[in-house]
Amino acid sequence: MAGMILTLATPCFAQDAPPSPVPLLVAADLREGTDLSGPWHYSIDPFRSGISGFHGGMPDTGQQRWRDVDVRAAMAKDSRVLYEFDLAHSPLASLPSAWLTHAPELRHYDGLMWYQRTFAAPETRKGRYFLRFGAANYATIVYLNGKEIGRHEGGFTPFAFEVTRALRDGQNQITVGVDSQANEATVPPPVTDWENYGGITRPVRLIATPDTYVDDAWVRLTRDGRMAVDVHLDGPQAANRSVRLKIAELGLDRAGTTDAHGDWRATMAAPRALIRWSPENPKLYDVAVTSGEDRWHDRIGFRKIERRGADILLNGKPIFLRGISMHEEELGVDPTRAITPAASRALLSEIKDGLHGNFVRLAHYPHSDVTVRMADELGLIVWSEVPVYWRVAWSNPDTLTRARTMLAENILRDRNRASVAIWSVANETPVTDARNSFLRTLVADVRRLDDTRLVSAALLVERGQGADHPVMTLADPLAEVLDVMAINTYNGWYSQDRLSDLGRSEWHVPADKPLICSEFGADARAGFHDPANKQKFSEEFQADYYRATLSMADHVPTLRGMSPWILKDFRSPRRQNPDFQQGWNRKGLISETGQRKEAFDVLGDYYARKASSR
Ligand code: GCU
C-alpha cells in the first residue's frame, strides 16, 4: 500500500495552524533549472520488495533498486553477488507521463514503480540545489546516488527536496519509487470515478538558488483594495535582510527588510494605473522580488473576488460564473495526464471560445500549474479543489493530516494565480459529525492561508417528492461555514424523472449565499444518434437533458454560476457498458478526441445569451 512508502509522521504543526510544507519554492516552474523530462528507466515492484523484505524490515541488498551500483559489472566481477533488478538496463519511458501508456501490460498496473535516470551536475556549482517534482501519484520516495533524500504523499501537488550536499561532480543517479495504490486512509480513497494515472505525471527539475533565496512570495489585492506583499526568505542570511518588490509596468518599487524569521510583509495603495484582471481583460504583470543575489519573479494578475449576500463580485461587480468541470486529461484516445501548455490551451479554449465560458471547475484535485497559468492567461475563473472525495476516513488523524497538507500545498502553490477564485474542500461527502469536523478544519485552514478568496464544497442535496415533482433540499450543516453553496444534481440521468418534469422541481437552498450548480450531466457517446426514442447515451438525450436542466436552473433564485459535468469524456474504470462507455465516463460535451456533441451548442448558446444579457 502507499503507506509502505510513507512512515507518515504527523507533521509538527499545532492543530490550529495549517501545515507549512518546506521548501515551498513558489513559482519554481519559472526559475532556471535542469529539466529532467525525457527517457527514464522503469521497473515494476508489485510486492514492494524494494521497500521491505519478505518478513518486513529492510529489503535484501539484491532488491534495493535505489543502490548506486553497476549491476552487470558487479555480478560479472564476483559470482557471489546477486541483484534481482537492473534499472540501468530496464525499459525506457518518456516522463512526465503516467505509466499506463508506457506499455500495454501496464494499462491497469496499480502498485509501486521504480524510475531511474542519470544526469550531469552543473559544471560549476554555487548556492543551493533542489529536486522539484510538479507531481507524482500517489506516494513517492526519492534517492540520489543511493541515499534517500525525501518522501512525499499526495498525487497532485508539487514537492521538493534539497540536494545541495548529495550532488556529486559528473553523473548523478536519481531513483524514484512511486506507489499509486490508494487505501482506506489515503486522500482520495480507493473508490473514485476517474482513472488513477499512477506515476510521475508532471516535470522533475533540478533547480538552483542562491544560498539565501525567496522561498515564498504572495502579492495580491486585499479585500480593502490595497496591494499586499508577503515574502519569506530561506537561507543563512534570511533575517534582517533587505528585500525589494518591483512591478516595473506600474512604476512600483518598494523596499523593505525581513524580520528575524526571514519574513517581510507590507501593504501599499494600489497603483492608480493598475488594470484589474478579469475574464474580459486577463491582464498580467511581471512582478519581481529581489533580495541579495536572488531575483524571484512571477506573472500576476490583480483582482478582487468577494461575496455580498447572494452575489459573487469580481472587482466589485456581480458576476455569473459560466463554466464547466474538467478532469486533468489531455485530448486523445490514449491520454496519460501529460499536460503541456498546448494540451491545456486546447481544452481551456473550448470553454472560453467554444462555450463562451468564463469559469472552469478543475475537478477533483489540484491540476497542473500549467493549466492554472493558462487560465490566468486566457481569462477563466478557476474553482480549485482537493480530492476529499466520497468515502474518506473522517476519523483517521493521518487522513486529516494528508488532506490538510494537500490543501496547504495547493493554496501555497497557487495564491498568486488571479484566475483562482474558489478553494473547494470536498466533493459529495456524506454528512456525519466526523465529516463535519474534518471539513471545518479544512475550511479554517483555507481562511488562515488565504483571506482573499472564497471557500466552497460540492455538496449533496436531499431529494423529496412533491405531488408531481422532485423537492430538492440543501440541508448540509457545512453550508454555514462556506462562502459559496455548491450542489451536484443528476435528476433525469440517475433518476427516473422525465426530462419534461425537471422544470417543476422545487429547490430549498440557503437564501443568503450564492449557489453554484457544480455538477449536472448526462452521458452520450459521440456519434450515437437516436432521434426517435432519444434513449440514454444518445446525443439527442444529452442535448434534451441540458435544455431541461438549464431551464430548471433558471428558476433557482440564488444561482450565480454552474460547472456542468463535464467538458470532455474521461477514463473511468467504473463505466463499462460495452456499447457506449468502454471504460470512459461519457458525460463530456466533447469526446476524448474533441468531437463536439449536440449538447455542446445547447450550453454554448445558453452562455452566449447570459454573457450578452449582463
Ligand atoms: C459525481 C462525481 C463525479 C462523477 C459524476 C458522474 O457527482 O462528483 O466525480 O464523475 O458524478 O457520476 O459522472
Q: What is the CA radius of gyration of the chain?
A: 25
Ligand 1 pocket member 587 (CB < 6 A): yes
If you measure from the C-alpha of residue 584 to the centroid of ligand 1, how many angstroms do you get, rounded to a whole number? 12
Per-residue pLDDT of 354-395, as tens digits, reads: 999 999 999 999 999 999 999 999 999 999 999 999 999 999
Cα(459) to ligand 1 centroid in Å equals: 12
The 3-class SS string of 464-528 reads EECCCCEEEECCCHHHHHCCEEEEECCCCCCCCCCHHHHCCCEEECCCCCCEEEEECCCCECCCC
**What is the pLDDT, as a whole number, of residue 298?**
98
- From 327, 383, 585, mutation site for ligand 1 pocket: most ligand atoms within 8 A of C-beta: 585
**pTM (2 d.p.):** 0.97
Question: Closest ligand 1 atom to the C-alpha of 521?
Answer: 13
Provide the β-strand partners of residue 231: 217, 264
Measured at the CA of 92, the angle between CA 86 and CA 96, to 5 degrees, comes to 120
Contact yes or no for 80/38 (Cβ under 8 A): no
| pLDDT > 70 fraction of the chain, expressed in percent and rounded | 98
Cα of 193 from ligand 1 centre, angstroms: 6
Q: Show the cell assigned to 160.
A: 521538493
Is CATH 2.60.40.10 correct for 226-303? yes
Residue 14 in this model has a pLDDT that exceeds 90: no
Question: How many angstroms does the Cα of residue 497 sit away from the middle of ligand 1?
Answer: 18
How far, in Å, CA of 67 to CA of 64, rounded? 6
CA–centroid distance, 205 to ligand 1, in Å, is: 34
Quick check: CB of 193 below 6 Å from ligand 1?
Answer: yes
pLDDT tens sequence across 153-169: 999 999 999 999 999 99
Which residue's alpha carbon is at the smallest distance from atom 9 of ligand 1? 193
Does 565 contact ligand 1 (Cβ within 6 A)?
A: yes
Over residues 427-460, the pLDDT tens digits come to 999 999 999 999 999 999 999 999 999 999 999 9
Short-list 340, 344, 397, CA closest to 374:
344
| Ligand 1: centre distance to CA 109 (Å) | 23
Place of cell 436531499: 462
Measure Cα distances from 37 to 34, 96, 366 in Å: 9, 6, 21
Taking the centre of ligand 1 as the mean of its atom positions, its distance from the CA of residue 58, in whole angstroms, is: 41
Domain ranges within the chain, ordered by starting residue: 28-209, 226-303, 306-612
Q: Is the pLDDT of residue 11 over 60?
A: no
CA of 105 to the centre of ligand 1 (A): 28
At residue 7, does pLDDT exceed 90? no
Same fold, 226-303 and 306-612: no
Confidence bin at 613 (pLDDT 50/70/90): confident
CB of 585 closer than 6 A to ligand 1?
yes
**What confidence score (pLDDT) does residue 12 get?**
44
Residue 488 Cβ inside 6 Å of ligand 1? The answer reads yes
**C-alpha span between 314 and 466 (Å, rounded):** 37
As beta bridge partners, residue 33 has 207
Give the class (CATH, top level) of 28-209: mainly beta
Secondary structure class of 237 (helix, strand, coil): coil
Residue 15: the pLDDT is 58
Distance from residue 490's CA to the centre of ligand 1 (Å): 9
- Note whether 97 and 131 are within 8 A (CB): no
Answer yes or no: is the C-beta of 519 below 6 A from any ligand 1 atom: yes
Tens digits of residue pLDDT in 504-533: 999 999 999 999 999 999 999 999 999 999
- DSSP three-state, residue 34: strand
Q: With a 6 A CB cut-off, is 427 part of the ligand 1 pocket?
A: yes
Give the model confidence (pLDDT) of 292-321 as tens digits. 999 999 999 999 999 999 999 999 999 999
Ligand 1 center from residue 565 Cα (angstroms): 7
pLDDT on residue 373: 98
DSSP letter for 568, please.
B
- pLDDT band per the 50, 70, 90 thresholds, residue 13: very low
Q: Does domain 306-612 have CATH number 2.130.10.10?
A: no
Nearest-atom index, ligand 1, CA of 458: 8
Distance spanning both ends of the chain, measured CA to CA: 52
Task: Mark 478-502 as b/e (b = at least 16 C-beta within 10 Å).
Answer: bbebbbbbbbbbbbbbeeebebebb
Q: Which three cell numbers stand for residue 519?
A: 455538477
Is 569 touching ligand 1 by the criterion CB < 6 Å? no
The pLDDT tens digits for 563-608 are 999 999 999 999 999 999 999 999 999 999 999 999 999 999 999 9
The answer, yes or no, to whether any atom of ligand 1 lies below 6 A from the CB of 195, is no
